[in-house]
Amino acid sequence: MESIQAIKQRFGIIGNDQKLNRSIEKAIQVSPTDISVLVTGESGVGKESIPRIIHQLSHRKHGKYIAVNCGAIPEGTIDSELFGHEKGAFTGATSTRSGYFEVADEGTIFLDEVGELPLTTQVRLLRVLENGEFIKVGSSKVQKTNVRIVAATNVNMFEAIKKEKFREDLYYRLSTVEINLPPLRDRKEDIHLLFRKFASDFALKYKMPTVKLTDEAVVLLLKYRWNGNIRQLRNVAEQVSVLEQNRTISGSTIQNYLPNIGSNLPAVVNNSKSESDFSSEREILYKVLFDMKSDLNDLKKLTMELMKKGSDSDVQKDNEHLIQKIYGEEKDEEFEAAVEDLEVLSIPEHTEDMDETISELEDKYHFAEEIEEEETLSLHDKELELIKKSLERHSGKRKLAAAELGISERTLYRKIKQFDL
């Protein structure tokens, strides 16, 4: 078995980071087997090196090695590219075509950006992983293939599974062994080493002296976040090599090639409000309005009592809980002021005419309460009817129904339990 250092030299891998060495060591260990491997890591960390190592150190090294960028192939043609198609299978299929899984039989297929595969293609790929079978587009004949699959992705697979963009069963079949490559910002001791290698390569390519960094420039490179990882560092080295006349690169010069150098931490500000935020605000507004309605009814009742009994002391005694609710603990001054305002109306002494007037007002008041109750019940019925219709229209799918109703899925779920739907 070749050493890690020998593998690095053979495949042009630069760096001495422990995490990088561990990733290469895992690739060497799994190479003799046919185990499926998933390579993970950010974009630009060099994931494409691991499948080449696995293929070259395996018993399949004399077979085909095909690298497929799943994210670059349109969704309508990805099945044809991977599994082939029969003549006339679709418009433009003028002849039978062999797919990558047929061509790479006894070899290795590297599926880069596998997280971008459509769900229908994921089902086909799962069948290949489980029993080596596939069917060409437009055919009913089952074909066999014996390929080693190595996949790579920069997508958070658990998030993709949670959002139902990637099949969980396929993830576990692909990631029998998972190899993670660290981002460049976690390999600080390798940054200057990589820059020097790239600078030397570009000096040979463009036939000019190699650029060298000052200590200040090296410090800036080490502090920079490198969101584009090795790919970004290589681009910076190429730009500096081509554009700078002075072959000694200072810190102030290298700054011009490092975008957003003043902010190495992500600062994403989202001012937009989510649907749940609006739903919460709407619920709070409803609660405030209902509380105001309740207070208004209490105030109307208190006013009727004052007009009926004519004695503020009796009213205060009998309706202590209402007065406290409306005026709070410190109610004396406000209550007295309210009573004085009522006295300005010059309420007449209790008479038979007064009884008739109060009776008319009570009838009117109770009638208003009945109307309000009917309206509330009507609103309840309308809400129930709307929720039922929306759920029926979307075949019981709460997420779609909630979106149509303009409420959060959690609120809809609560309403369903409330109405016992």
Domain borders along the chain are 4-182, 187-255, 278-418
Q: Is the pLDDT of residue 226 over 50?
A: yes
- Which of these, 348, 325, 323, 349, lies nearest to 336 by C-alpha position? 323
Separation of first and last alpha carbons in the chain: 65
Q: What's the pTM?
A: 0.62
pLDDT in tens, 274-300: 444 555 566 666 666 666 767 677 677
- The residues near 10 (Cβ < 8 Å, ≥ 6 apart) are 2
Q: What share of the chain is helix, strand, coil (3-state, %, to 5)?
A: 60, 10, 35
Q: Distance between CA 280 and CA 72 in Å, rounded?
A: 41
Long-range contacts, 302-307 (Cβ 8 Å, 24+): 302/326, 303/342, 304/358, 304/361, 304/362, 304/365, 306/339, 306/342, 306/347, 307/342, 307/347, 307/358, 307/361
Greater pLDDT, 389 or 120 = 120
Residue located via tokens 């009117």: 364
Q: Is the pLDDT of residue 314 over 90?
A: no
- Rounded to an integer, the average pLDDT of 101-107 is 96
CB 109 within 8 A of CB 19: no
What angle in degrees, to the nearest 10, is found between the helix axes of 398-405 and 409-418?
A: 100
CATH of domain 187-255: 1.10.8.60
Greater pLDDT, 175 or 352 = 175
- The residues near 121 (Cβ < 8 Å, ≥ 6 apart) are 78, 79, 82
- C-alpha 59: how far from chain center: 40
Fold of 4-182: Rossmann fold (3.40.50)
Q: Is the pLDDT of residue 267 over 50?
A: no
Q: Is the pLDDT of residue 68 over 90?
A: yes
* pLDDT value for 323: 55
Q: Distance between CA 349 and CA 354 in Å, rounded?
A: 8
Range from 150-159, 258-267, 268-277, 409-418 carrying the lowest mean pLDDT: 268-277
Q: Distance between CA 317 and CA 336 in Å, rounded?
A: 14
* pLDDT value for 31: 96
- Give how far Cα 98 sits from Cα of 74, 227, 269, Å: 18, 39, 48
Instruction: Give the three-class secondary structure for 121.
Output: helix
Greater pLDDT, 298 or 139 = 139
* pLDDT value for 137: 94
Work out the percent of the chain whose per-residue pLDDT is above 90: 58
pLDDT in tens, 355-382: 555 555 555 555 444 444 444 445 667 7
CB atoms within 10 A of CB 150: 31
Q: Is 229 left (phi over 0), alpha (psi -120 to 50) or beta?
A: left
Q: Is the pLDDT of residue 171 over 70?
A: yes
Give the start-end residues of each E strand in 86-188.
Answer: 108-112, 133-135, 142-144, 148-153, 177-180
Range from 112-116, 282-286, 402-406 carrying the lowest mean pLDDT: 282-286
